[in-house]
Amino acid sequence: MIPVIRKILYCTELSDSSGYVFRYVASLAHHYGAGVTALHVMEDVPEGSRQLISSEIGASRWEEMKKQNAQEAHDILKTHMEKFLEEAHSEQSDISFAIESILVKFGYPADEILHQAEAGGFDLVVMGSHGKGRVADVMMGTTTGRVIRQCKKPVLVVRHPE
């Protein structure tokens, strides 16, 4: 059976090389007529630290700060996506696909990527990997390696250029 790719989950850490990975997302989305959801996960503070911070500044102030950080990350991701789309159109004017949503979540990145891949009904997960020698090749990074091993959906890993 030939796979049907209609929904792509693009996972980004908002690094300088995110645009490189996005080019693969754009190509696949255009080719398959797929919609794209961009996901950035902000690593959550461990429970003990969270309690300490909440006791020092107050739980409501802590939640307000988290919301503000999430909004800032969302705005940055939206700006990145607009820039990436503009670059893709300048390279190939007939490229066409939709950015369906932009998600910013708190949690452990691998856990949240795995959860979103299932909950969102995605057909493909695309993420980058920083290759830094033989050890990195074997370990594949904590988040990327774990997603590859545990995701029930296909995962495309795009190695960032050196």
Q: Please list the residues that pair with 142 across neighbouring strands.
A: none
Is the residue at 102 inside a domain?
A: yes
Is the residue at 78 inside a domain?
A: yes
* 28-46 mean pLDDT: 90
Residue 125 CB neighbours (<10 A): 24
Residue 135 confidence (pLDDT): 46
Q: Provide the strand spans (E) within the chain.
A: 7-11, 35-43, 98-107, 124-129, 155-159
* Model pLDDT for residues 74-124, shown as the tens digit of each residue: 999 999 888 888 888 888 888 888 899 999 999 999 999 999 999 999 999
Q: How many domains does the chain have?
A: 1
CATH code for the domain of 116: 3.40.50.620
- Give the global pTM: 0.84
Residue 97 confidence (pLDDT): 86
**Does the structure show a pLDDT above 60 at 139?**
no
- Long-range contacts for 53-60 (Cβ within 8 Å, ≥24 apart)? none
Is the residue at 1 inside a domain?
A: no
Residue 97 structural domain: 7-159
Is the residue at 57 inside a domain?
A: yes
Both structure tokens of 101 = 């949503």
Place of tokens 């090389």: 17
